[in-house]
Amino acid sequence: MSKQLLQGNQAIVIAAERAGLGFFAGYPITPASEILHELVGRKYIKVMQMEDEIASINACIGASLAGLKVMTATSGPGFSLMQESIGLAHMMEVPMVIVNVQRVGPSTGMPTFPAQGDIIQARHGSHGDYFPIIFYPNSVEEIYRHTFSAFNAAEESLSPVLLLSDGYISHLYETVELTNYPVVQRGRPPLGAGNRHFTGLTHKDSCPVTSSPEVHRTLLAHFQKKCMQTCANYNFYEYIENDTADTLLIAFGALSRAIYNFKDKYGVFRPIRLFPMIEELKDFASRYEYIVVLEMNTGQYCYEVESLLHREVELLALPGGKIDIKEISDKLQELRQASSKQVTIN
Amino acid sequence: MEDTMRFKRFLKEENLPTPWCPGCGNGQILKSACQAFEELNFDKRQVVIVSGIGCAGRSAGFFDMDSVHTAHGRAIPVAEGIKTANENLKVVVLSGDGDLLGIGGNHLLHATRRNTPISIICYSNEIYGMTGGQVSPTTRLNTKTVTTPEGNKDCPVNVQAIIKAHNCFYARSTTFHLAHLKKSIIEALRHPGLSFVDVICQCIVNNGRRVGFKDAFEMLMYYKNNYKINDNTELLKENEIGITRWTSA
Amino acid sequence: MARQRKGEVAINHNYCKRCNICPQFCPTKNLEIVGGKLVSYDRCIACFACERYCPDLAIEVVKIYHVETTPAG
C-alpha cells in the first residue's frame, strides 16, 4: 500500500490499469484529456487516439468483444456523439467503462468549468430502452475506488458502465491510498472462439429476430434483470442523518462537497451510484418533511428523485460551474421561506 | 458433393435463404468471400466478420464464425478495435457503399491513414437499397433516384483515390466477373495492411429498374460489356476493373 | 444417338427466389421458370454457369460420369 498525491484523472488511469484495462480509445477533449495522456506508454495497455468519439467507442466495442477490458473517456460533446453506440453496446452486451468528465453545456459551453448537465443523457441518452449503471464519486480517493467498481460492474453485467466525473473532481489533487481492490474477470470467451453473432438487432440465441414483440420484451427483461442483480453488489451512497432537521439535501459529485457545510442544519444524502437509483433513499426521505435536490444544472436528477419518492421535491439549480457556499446558503433559506409562504397560502 | 460447394462450410445454412431481393448481387459477394476463405484454407476460429447497416450489413449473420453486426457506418472502427486487441485474428469487413463511404466515410479515411491490417469488401450497388432507393455516395452523375428525380447532380465519391492516397490495397471487381472477384478478395486477404475491394453489384429492385434495366441478368451483361479487366495498372480508369499495383513504401 | 446428359441440376426451392438469372446464363436452355417455379430439363452439359451465377446458393450441379462402352463386334 502506498499513498500518492494524484489528480482525479490520474487516479482513474491508475485504478483502471490495476483493474486490468487492456485497451483505450479516445479523442482529446477538455477536461478529460489527461486520461488519454496518462495512458500512453503503459506497458499492457493498447491506446488508440481515434478520429472522433464515435470511432473511439466503436473501437472499444471491438476490442472488448475481442477479450480485453476497455475504457474510453470524454466530456459532454463527445459523450453526445457516443450515444448511438452506447445503445449498441447494451444490445450486444459489451462490457466497457465510459468516463464522462462533465463540463458546462449545451454545445461547447464553458469547457474548463465543471457541470452536472449530463445526468439525463447518461441515463436516457441513447434511443430505446436500456439500463445503465452509473457511478459519480466526489473525491479523488473515491474516483480511484469506483473506477474498480465500474470495471467490475461492467464485467458482471456485461454492459457499458458510466463513471461520471466533472471538471472539478477530475482536476482536483488529493492524496490517495492506492489499495488493490478485488477485480472481476471476464466470463465470456473472446471473438474467435465460436460462431456467435453479435448484433444490434433484436435477437435470440445470437440470431436476429426483428418481428417478434415477445422476443424483444424478453430481451429487455433480461437486460434489466442483469442490471439489478449486478447493482445489489454496488450499493454505494453516503447518508448523514440529522434528527433535528426537517429537510433532506440531496447532492452528488463536486457540488456535494460543499453540502457537507450544511449538515448541522440539514440531513444529507449523496448517491454515488446515481442509476439505478438507491432504494434506501425512500426510507431516508420518509424521515424529513422537505426534500431539496441541489444540482449544477437546471434540474435533471430532481425529476428522477421525484418519481422514485412519489412526492414533491424542491430543486436548487446551480448551473454555470459556480460553487459558492454563501450563495447556496442564501438560496436554501429563500427556498425554505418560499415553501412556508406556500403553506400559509394553502 | 462436388468440390465446388465446399465453401458452404463457412456459412450457417440454418440461417439461409438470405433476406435479399430476387436478383440482388449481395449473395454473389457473400459466396465469393466464402470461396476466397476456402481457397486460402482459413480456420473458422481465426476469422471475424464485421458488418455495418443496410442490405449488405446483414451479411455477417450468415457466417459460421464469430461475427459483429455494428451500428450504421461503424464497422471499420469496430474492426480496428478487434484487430488491435488481437492481432492474430483475420478481420474482414463486409458492408455497403452508403455505410462505408457515406455515414462511415470519415472512419475509412482514417483507417487507411493508420493502415490497420483489415480487409474491407464494399458492396457498391450505387444506391441506398434497404431504405427504398435514395441517392448514395457512389451513384453516378445524372442518375435518377428517389431523392434525385431530376438526376444526380453530385459527383460520386472517388474511392480509389482515397484508398490509394494512403498507399493501401485497392481492387475493383463486379458480380459478373466472378473469377476476378474471387481473385481480388484473395489478394486483399493476403495483403499485409489495409485492403479494400470495391465490388460493383446489382440492385435491380431499387436501382436497376428505375434506370431502365429489365432484370438482374441485363445488369450483369452491362457489367460484362462495360468493364474491362486491367490487373496491371496503378490507377484504374472509370470503365476498368482490376487489382491495382501496390508498392510497399 | 441422343446426346447424353452430363450433369444433374439440384435446385433448392426454399432458397430459389426465381430471379431469372440462371435460365439466361444456361447455354443449352436447360433451365426455365414455369408457373413460378424453376425447372431443369435433361440438357445439362455441366458447365456450372447456373451454380456460379446463382446469388442465393440455390443451385448445385452434380456431374454425371458415363461409363464408356465400346460397341460389340
Mean pLDDT of B177-203: 97
Question: Buried b vs exposed e over B189-203: b needs ≥16 C-beta within 10 Å?
Answer: bebebbbbbbbbbbb
Contacts of A23 (CB under 8 A, 6+ apart): A45, A46, A47, A48, A59, A60, A63, A64, A68, A69, A70, A71, B81, B84, B85
Q: Can you give the residue ranges of every domain in chain A? A: 3-231, 237-345
Neighbours of B179 (CB within 10 A): 12
Give yes or no for A228 touching B (CB within 8 A): no
Q: Has residue C32 been placed in a domain?
A: yes
Is the CB of C17 less than 8 angstroms away from the CB of B8?
no
Q: What does the block give as the cell for A14?
A: 491508475
pLDDT at C3: 66
Mean pLDDT of A57-66: 98
Could you tell me the sign of the dihedral formed by the alpha carbons of B102, B104, B110, B112, in that order?
negative
Q: Has residue C56 been placed in a domain?
A: yes
Q: Above 80 in pLDDT, residue A295?
A: yes
pLDDT at A172: 97
Q: What does the block give as the cell for A222?
A: 433480461
Q: What does the block give as the cell for A210?
A: 426483428
Cβ contacts of A209 on chain B, cutoff 8 Å = none
Q: Above 80 in pLDDT, residue B1?
A: no
CATH of the domain at C53: 3.30.70.20
Q: Can you give the residue ranges of every domain in chain B? A: 3-13+21-243
Give yes or no for A205 touching B (CB within 8 A): no
More confidently predicted of A214 and A343: A214
Contacts of A100 (CB under 8 A, 6+ apart): A32, A73, A74, A75, A76, A79, A118, A122, A162, A163, A164, A165
> Given pLDDT bands bounded at 50, 70 and 90, which one contains residue B2?
low
Q: What does the block give as the cell for C12?
A: 433448392
Considering only CA atoms, give the Rg of chain A.
20
DSSP state of B169: E
Using alpha carbons, select from A81, A84, A86, A72 the residue that is nearest to residue A33: A72
Asked if B188 contacts B121 with a C-beta cutoff of 8 angstroms, the reply is yes
Distance CA B240, CA A187 (A): 50
The domain defined by B3-13+21-243 folds into Rossmann fold (3.40.50)
Indicate the average pLDDT of chain B. 95
> Given pLDDT bands bounded at 50, 70 and 90, which one contains residue A336?
confident
> Given pLDDT bands bounded at 50, 70 and 90, which one contains residue A346?
very low
Tell me the shortest Cα–Cα distance from C57 to chain B, in angstroms: 8
Is the CB of A63 less than 8 angstroms away from the CB of B46?
no
Is the CB of B16 less than 8 angstroms away from the CB of C15?
yes
A3-231 with A237-345: one CATH topology? yes
Neighbours of A254 (CB within 10 A): 25
> Given pLDDT bands bounded at 50, 70 and 90, which one contains residue C1?
very low
Question: What are the residue ranges of helices labelled H in B137-246?
Answer: 159-165, 178-190, 216-226
Cβ contacts of B5 on chain C, cutoff 8 Å = 51, 60
pLDDT at A339: 72
Q: Above 70 in pLDDT, residue B55?
A: yes
Asked if A314 contacts A251 with a C-beta cutoff of 8 angstroms, the reply is no
Residue in A closest to B116 by C-alpha: A48
pLDDT at B246: 85
> Given pLDDT bands bounded at 50, 70 and 90, which one contains residue B180?
very high
* A118-153 pLDDT per residue, tens: 999 999 999 999 999 999 999 999 999 999 999 999
More confidently predicted of A2 and A158: A158
* B119-131 pLDDT per residue, tens: 999 999 999 999 9
List chains touching C (3+ CB pairs under 8 A). B
Q: Above 70 in pLDDT, residue C73?
A: no
The domain defined by A237-345 folds into Rossmann fold (3.40.50)
Q: Has residue C54 been placed in a domain?
A: yes
Distance CA A68, CA A45 (A): 10
pLDDT at C41: 94
Neighbours of B214 (CB within 10 A): 11
* C12-50 pLDDT per residue, tens: 999 999 999 999 999 999 999 999 999 999 999 999 999
Q: Helix or strand or coil: residue B188?
A: helix
Mean pLDDT of B32-60: 96
The domain defined by A3-231 folds into Rossmann fold (3.40.50)
Q: What number is the ipTM of this complex?
A: 0.96
pLDDT at A338: 80
> Given pLDDT bands bounded at 50, 70 and 90, which one contains residue A1?
low
Total structural domains within chain C: 1
- Beta partners for A198? B68
Q: What percent of chain A lies above the pLDDT cut of 70?
A: 98
- Beta partners for A244? none
Mean pLDDT of B46-71: 96
Give yes or no for A51 touching B (CB within 8 A): yes
The domain of C20 spans 7-63
Q: How is chain A split among helix, strand and coil, in percent rounded to 5?
A: 40, 25, 35
Q: What percent of chain B lies above the pLDDT cut of 90?
A: 96
Task: Give the mutation candidate from B13, B50, B55, B68 for the A interface (greatest A CB count, under 10 A).
Answer: B68
**Which residue in the set A46, A51, A58 is minimally distant from B78, CB to CB?**
A58
* A212-264 pLDDT per residue, tens: 999 999 999 999 999 999 999 999 999 999 999 999 999 999 999 999 999 99
Give the global pTM.
0.96
Using alpha carbons, select from A85, A234, A231, A223 the residue that is nearest to residue A148: A234
> Given pLDDT bands bounded at 50, 70 and 90, which one contains residue B116?
very high
Mean pLDDT of B228-249: 91
